[in-house]
Chains A and B, each alone.
Chain A
Amino acid sequence: MKELICIVCPKGCHLKVDDNLNVTGNGCNRGITYAKDELTNPTRMVTSTVKVNGGKLSRVPVVTSKPVPKNKIMDVMEEINKVQVNAPIYIKDIIISNVLGLGVDIVATRSVL
């Protein structure tokens, strides 16, 4: 039996997972998926900023389009740190597509004009 705190949403349900990956204590079905993934292949969303040239702001905030494997977080950060973009950038613009071949895009979360 393993106890986990669900991080899918801010509610933070206290999950219990038995050896056969049966989950209890979840508030919704996403908790079950989370618990199973967390014990087999943990993933996380990454948020950061990317340098913008010629805009009203010098950084644009970005997010991964999907969670990335937990052990790839710092590698993804390195890619994010390397890239520079030119204004204008619009919210939802893809800044890096398929980062590190993970099938995940780095997406702008704000417009910088």
Chain B
Amino acid sequence: MFDITIIGAGVVGSMIARTLSKYKLNILVLEKENDVGNGASSANSAIIHSGYDPEPGSLKARLNVRGNYLFDKVAEELDVEFMRIGSITLANNQEEVEILESLVERAALNGVCVKVLNHDELKTIEPSITDKVIKGLLAPTCGIINPFELVVAAMENAIDNGVKLHLCEEVTSIVKQESGFIVNTNKNSYETKYVINCAGVYSDKINEMVNKKSFTIKPRRGEYFVLDHFDNNYVRHVLFNVPSSKGKGVLVSPTTHYNYLVGPSSEYIDDKEDVSTDKETLDNVKQKAYSLVDNLRLDKQIRIFSGIRAVSDTGDFVIEEVIPYFINVAGIQSPGLASSPAIAEMVEEMIKGKELKEDYNPYRKPLPRLNKKTIEEKIALCKTNPLYGNIICRCEKISEGEIVDAIRRNCGATTVKGVKKRVRPGFGKCQGGFCEASVMKILARELGCDIKQIVYGKENAYILKEGTKGE
């Protein structure tokens, strides 16, 4: 019997699991994918929004602002890359300037500090912006984060504190009992007191396994370009278009590794898993990005991708104990990443009869992060483990030691994508061309399996079909 069963190990499920792991609770996390954070959490803008934008009074507004505030602590405890670089929302015409000014009022209502700057002021702090810019709204608390790392770190820390994670288990039905629930998956059956539904685009389906339909998730896709790192000062802030009559606009932003993201598009789609990209949509993204920066360096493009957001038809986050002991945490679209620590706090308050553990440790064992070390530190690190001297990923300079660490930790990597999400080999210009074979060999060795069983990401995404010579 579990006290808590969390369905879905995205950023929301993982952050809730971690927060609840400080209590004497028997917690199970069920995830249908073979890794944590494979849905919306790994394909988004990687922004910790300041919170000036959501409708005042909404859950989004409250949790975004609170979540943003909590992130310094979360990032420090979990050793996650997080940089408060600030965002600038750029207005290029009179209509946009008017909207910008209305955003100032909204920011005040949400309790977020912002400042309107004129063109020349903006150009000093952000030289990349286009000459068309008239005014811009600076929100200094906006940050960028490594979203892959955040989910993995939260779950790793949760597991360190006793949470159980079952991957590749898809919930097929939930039966309400007199006290608690039975959660059936494709593999097992679990008795649980609480169900916390964090199933992302499938959260409406999970809800309807027990409750009446009260919200619908409409999958919305965002497509992006990723640029290689080439100049750490190319764009220094998160640059947003003003949301206007022409639509929501796009962003150009550095990542925590000084890659640059250009996107997203915004299309409602039917298929909850359709993360394809489309040329016309991306061309449209490109056009919008030119209203932010003149020198859009698409010659540095190394990847295109898209992600699905779980948008609720209610227009706000759905966080409610819909029937006793069944908590929906649904419709967590943008600013979900930013809100995630505050969402976890809110759910924490909903759990009754909980008692703190004595031995809860909020700190995750820090990553080796060779690239951030001085040469003296690197030399010292190699003395502790010679595998740090063997560089596997040429583009991002990732060592075998870091890859092995990423596999052996709690919530460790089991796929090529899992390694990539945790320590970045394959994120560079060659997109794994040079290092994928080595990463696969390391995975096979560490997991004790045949190399042919190693998949790229999803369970059926095999890389090697068969051995030659009849092997």
Contacts and interface: CB of A to CB of B under 8 A. Distances in A.
Do A and B contact each other directly (Cβ–Cβ < 8 Å)?
A: yes
Interface of A: 49-51, 59, 81, 84
Interface stretch (B73-81, B144-152, B266-274, B463-471): B463-471
Nearest to B469: A51
Contacts of A59: 468-469
Grouping DSSP codes into helix (H, G, I), strand (E, B) and loop, the B interface class, with mixed when no group exceeds half, is: loop
A10 B297 CA distance: 38
Contacts of B468: 49, 51, 59, 81
B406 to A, nearest CB: 26
B468 to A, nearest CB: 7
Contacts of B469: 49-51, 59, 81, 84
Contacts of A50: 469
Nearest to B471: A51
Interface string B437-471: 00000000000000000000000000000001111
Contacts of A49: 468-469
Contacts of A81: 468-470
A79 B370 CA distance: 49
A59 to B, nearest CB: 7
A107 to B, nearest CB: 17
Which 4 interchain pairs have the tightest Cβ spacing? A51-B469, A81-B469, A81-B470, A49-B468
A59 B468 CA distance: 9
Contacts of B471: 51
> How many interface residues does chain B have, given as a range?
under 10
B429 to A, nearest CB: 28
A81 B471 CA distance: 10
Contacts, number: 12
A110 to B, nearest CB: 16
Grouping DSSP codes into helix (H, G, I), strand (E, B) and loop, the A interface class, with mixed when no group exceeds half, is: strand
Given A81-B468, A81-B469, A84-B469, 9 more contacts: A49-B468, A49-B469, A50-B469, A51-B468, A51-B469, A51-B471, A59-B468, A59-B469, A81-B470
B189 to A, nearest CB: 44
Contacts of A51: 468-469, 471
B385 to A, nearest CB: 24
Contacts of B470: 81
Most buried by A among B468, B469, B470, B471: B469
Nearest to A50: B469
A42 B401 CA distance: 53
Most buried by B among A49, A50, A51, A84: A51
A12 to B, nearest CB: 28
Nearest to A48: B468
A97 to B, nearest CB: 19
Nearest to B470: A81
Interface in B173-224: none
Interface string B243-280: 00000000000000000000000000000000000000
A51 B470 CA distance: 10
B471 to A, nearest CB: 7
A50 B468 CA distance: 9
A59 B471 CA distance: 12
A50 B471 CA distance: 12
A49 B470 CA distance: 12
11 contacts: A49-B468, A49-B469, A50-B469, A51-B469, A51-B471, A59-B468, A59-B469, A81-B468, A81-B469, A81-B470, A84-B469
A106 B198 CA distance: 61
A81 B467 CA distance: 11
Interface in B270-310: none
A50 B469 CA distance: 7
Nearest to B468: A49
Interface string B369-398: 000000000000000000000000000000
B441 to A, nearest CB: 12
A86 to B, nearest CB: 14
A61 to B, nearest CB: 12
A51 B471 CA distance: 9
A40 to B, nearest CB: 33
A49 B469 CA distance: 9
Nearest to A84: B469
A85 to B, nearest CB: 11
A51 B469 CA distance: 7
A51 B73 CA distance: 55
B260 to A, nearest CB: 40
A63 B303 CA distance: 38
A6 to B, nearest CB: 31
B442 to A, nearest CB: 17
A82 B220 CA distance: 53
Contacts of A84: 469
A20 to B, nearest CB: 45
A81 B470 CA distance: 8
A59 B470 CA distance: 13
A49 B471 CA distance: 13
A81 B468 CA distance: 8
Interface in B391-429: none
A79 to B, nearest CB: 12
A58 to B, nearest CB: 9
A51 B468 CA distance: 8
A113 B470 CA distance: 23
B438 to A, nearest CB: 15
